[in-house]
Amino acid sequence: MDCGMKIEEGRIINDFIEPNKCQYAIPVYQRNYEWSAEQCRKLFVDVVTAHKRDRRHFCGSVVYAPLKSEKKINYYVVIDGQQRLTTIYILIKALIDKAVTDEEKKSLAEVLFNVDKFKRYNIDDSSKLKLKPIKSDNNQLMLLMEDHAEQMDRTSGIYRNYELFCDLIQEFLNDNPDMGVGNIYDGLEHLTCAEIKLDDDDDNAQEIFERINSTGVPLSLSDKIRNFVLMTDTDQDRLYEDYWLKAEQMLSKDQLEGFFLDYLNFKMDGFAKESTAYDEFKALYARGQYTNESMLEEIYHYVQQYHAFYYGDEKRFSSTVNHLLRSLQTLKQTTVYLFLFSVFDDFDAGVIDDETLCKVLRLLLNYSIRRLICEVGSNSLRGLYKTLYGRVFNRPENKNNYYDSIVSFLLQLTSKDVMPSDAEFVAALKERNLYRKNALCKYLLVAIENQGKEQIKTDALTIEHIMPQNKNLSTAWQRMLGTDWELVRERYLHTLGNLTLTGYNSELGDLPFAEKLDKLAEENTHVTVLYSDVKNKTEWNAQTMESRAERLSEEVLKLFPIELPTTKVDFSDPRYRLYTVSDPHNATYKFVNYYELLGERVSADSFAFMVRSVAGKLYDLNSSIIDRMARNLEVFPAWQNPAFAYDKDAIRNAVKLKNDSDIYISTGYSAYDCICFIKALLKKYDLDLEEDFVYSARPNSTALAGINWKNIAQEWCEERDKRGEIVFDIKNCEGRYVRFTTPFLNSVIPTNEDILSPWKTNNYYFYEITSDKNELYVQLYFYCKGITDEMRTAFQKLANLTDGGKLTQGYRLFFKSSVFTQAENSTKSEIKNHLYRCLEEVRAFEMTIQDKWDS
């Protein structure tokens, strides 16, 4: 068994029930008491047998954990065994009531109740009874224990089993006139159990709970989260009733599961998978320094929003808001909830009013309809909505033009998530297969029919094809459609121009056009707008369907317009351009800003990071592809080395793909090769190279200055190395860094011969020549993780002799030179002269240290 818990042979009476100053609480979320009569009869037989044979009887396990309390009572939470303990309490109460003498009654009563003769323990009504079941059972148990059995619910399990035990005790006494209730109690004292006491580590208690319950119905994500925040909280009754129970009553079980996944995706970086969601929740809890109550308060807050997303909320929101939310739900556009959490927070905070909220919801609905009609792939939607709020409002002033900012952003996107234009929308409405999008198709047809008149009831209406679906059309239909009737049928059958609503369901079927018109005219469904350009027709063919599609598509466009921004908010940045992976040369001499994969934007500070991040995201999307590549050491086409491996020695510059994975990824590539790597991996995942991935990059100083400063810096380093002024190896140069060391620091800073630094060297420091935004300078960095004691002593000594340095992610900056700002016309000699001045500053810095090093 795990550490953190003690397992001993315990006695039910002597170790659990009899000791004074203790109370065992059954978690509020556990099931009600429900032991059957058969189980009670068996327990009673076991008790009597244990007494008669004077032999211990094992009756299962009791798992419990201590609860923190300021009172002088020892409080515990029962994690497993609560049904058995409750039954034994009921049996003891029955023994009390069947006891003959007052002394027996008093002695047995002290087993059930905490005693405070000298008023030292602050025992009150809530802590008097040693067992505290869940609330519904507690009421019944307290009535029983306080001798108010007549007030109990006669159908409750506690009452029924109490009555049963009274009967069984009386039968025993009748059959054994020389014995009394003390003999039965002696049998109870022979009952033993596996006593498993956990420490006060909440995670451990939860882990044991999950293991114990793993043999039954698996715990759902919401079950695990509920137990995590309630299991070891002394205030769990109030927390359960004030927050959890209310939240649980607002959503169905499936909706609650969906809520927690959406909540986690809203709160965390990346996306939660069902298999890891509980661990992600615990990490969020720790990272956010939540208390149980603050976490439950937040959960309940967002559950209320989630309930409104599904069902609306007439008390909090206008009828228009509720109607728009129902429309999103009807069209199953639930991915938008990741964005709506923040929007509704802004509404609650008074940042936006009802009018703006309506405009935003209408925009999202119309945007969703356009995507669906234009058949824009949905695989990027989750990423888009997850990051949309941060991308739109990364400048707080954008909230001053709330709606305008959102619509401006969607209109300015350069990925496939860009808002489809009116022309694209209308063309798709007329030409695409609308019928297979059944819910959307009916929604649009109903919207067309209901505009500007009394709303018709649509529940009983179905979608009807005017030109029948039957492949073997009747002669009358073939004649009406013309000689190319098969082509006409194939092209127009499921398009908007051929669809309407009817209450006849499948009765119209293959009827000739004239008979269909008669039937449609007869039915009392009040469908008129959709029939207006059908009822007066004498024939139905390609021309009439095209004409009707033209009219209806314009109607849809009017019903679901995109309201353009009053104030256009510009999200473009002339310094940043978006690139696809189609031409890897675009990455040369660039700094990456971010990338977008399937709609999700991720910041990136280097191409190397981008490769690992993209690979990690794709691994989360589908681990089997990268897993197969790693197991088989697959090589991308035209590459020489494997991209992934489980053995880090099997690939070049191996780095862990993810912390929770045993797979390594090959690294150390140029920007060009990084894009080639991503391109090849996207192909493995069958993703669109033009639509599903883009990256933003800006020119680095090399491109801006028009000269290659890095080549000049390397040439300068080689010259200084030959003179013995520095120690330089071109292999240590990568990206925008040219690295060197000095003879002095090499003499006083030890190396690590066992573990390489992140620079793949035995030394853990470098002077770096670098250029950032056209500013060229030299900096000294030490890497402070994984160092030997000897190295740590030297590093600390250096820190004491300087200002201590700035520590960032394990790297400590000790020195930074003056800056040279490159211009378009900067020359090679100017750059070299500046580097020489930097070297003079390095010498002065080291001279100061050298004078004090040995003193």
70 pLDDT above the threshold of 60 = no
5 pLDDT above the threshold of 80 = no
What is residue 731's predicted lDDT score, i.e. its pLDDT? 86
Q: Which of 157-161, 239-243, 599-603 has the highest mean pLDDT?
A: 157-161
62 pLDDT above the threshold of 50 = yes
279 pLDDT above the threshold of 50 = yes
452 pLDDT above the threshold of 70 = no
3-state secondary structure of 640: coil
649 pLDDT above the threshold of 70 = yes
| Strands of the sheet with 693-699, listed across from one edge | 577-579, 693-699, 590-597, 600-603
Pairing verdict, β 811-816 and 775-783: antiparallel
Can you tell me the distance from the alpha carbon of 446 to that of 453, in angstroms, rounded to the nearest whole number? 12
The mean per-residue pLDDT over the stretch 78-88 comes to 86
What is residue 201's predicted lDDT score, i.e. its pLDDT? 53
Pairing verdict, β 22-25 and 131-132: parallel
Instruction: Say if residues 189 and 13 touch (Cβ distance below 8 Å).
Output: yes
What is residue 215's predicted lDDT score, i.e. its pLDDT? 42
Query: ∠427-432-436 over CA atoms, to 5°?
Result: 150
Instruction: Say if residues 372 and 586 touch (Cβ distance below 8 Å).
Output: no
Q: Which of the four pLDDT bands, split at 50, 70 and 90, describes residue 704?
A: very low
User: How far lies 60's CA from each of 46, 57, 190, 191, 796, in Å?
Assistant: 13, 10, 13, 10, 58
Can you tell me the distance from the alpha carbon of 408 to that of 562, in angstroms, rounded to the nearest whole number? 11
Question: How does the average pLDDT of the chain come out, rounded?
Answer: 86
Query: ∠63-69-70 over CA atoms, to 5°?
Result: 160
Helix H or strand E segment including 191: strand 191-198
What is residue 214's predicted lDDT score, i.e. its pLDDT? 47
What is residue 2's predicted lDDT score, i.e. its pLDDT? 47
User: At residue 651, what is the residue type?
Assistant: I
What is residue 827's predicted lDDT score, i.e. its pLDDT? 80
What is residue 341's predicted lDDT score, i.e. its pLDDT? 97
Can you tell me the distance from the alpha carbon of 500 to that of 518, in angstroms, rounded to the nearest whole number? 15
Q: Which of the four pLDDT bands, split at 50, 70 and 90, describes residue 31?
A: low
Q: Which of the four pLDDT bands, split at 50, 70 and 90, describes residue 227?
A: confident
* HSE of 751, CA atoms in CB hemisphere, 13 A: 12
What single-letter DSSP state applies at residue 567? Answer: S
The mean per-residue pLDDT over the stretch 362-366 comes to 97
Q: Where are the domains of the chain?
A: 5-206, 219-311, 318-324+331-420, 425-559, 577-699, 703-853
Beta bridge partners of residue 74, listed in sequence order: 22
Residue of 770, 808, 806, 812 whose CA lies nearest to 791 = 812
DSSP string, 230-267: HTT-TTHHHHIIIIIHHHHHHS-HHHHHHHHHHHHHHH
The mean per-residue pLDDT over the stretch 73-101 comes to 88
What is residue 217's predicted lDDT score, i.e. its pLDDT? 46
Q: Which of the four pLDDT bands, split at 50, 70 and 90, describes residue 807?
A: low
735 pLDDT above the threshold of 80 = no
The mean per-residue pLDDT over the stretch 746-765 comes to 87
Q: Looking up tokens 């493995």, which residue turns up?
A: 684
What sign for the dihedral angle of Cα 79, 81, 84, 85?
A: negative
Pairing verdict, β 775-783 and 820-821: antiparallel
Higher pLDDT, residue 637 or 73: 637
Tens-digit pLDDT profile for residues 387-443: 999 999 988 899 999 999 999 999 998 888 999 999 999 999 999 999 999 999 999
User: How far lies 403's CA from each of 317, 749, 827, in Å?
Assistant: 18, 58, 50
240 pLDDT above the threshold of 80 = yes
Instruction: Say if residues 135 and 26 touch (Cβ distance below 8 Å).
Output: no
DSSP string, 441-461: HHHHHHHHHHTTSPPPP-TT-
Instruction: Say if residues 841 and 817 touch (Cβ distance below 8 Å).
Output: yes
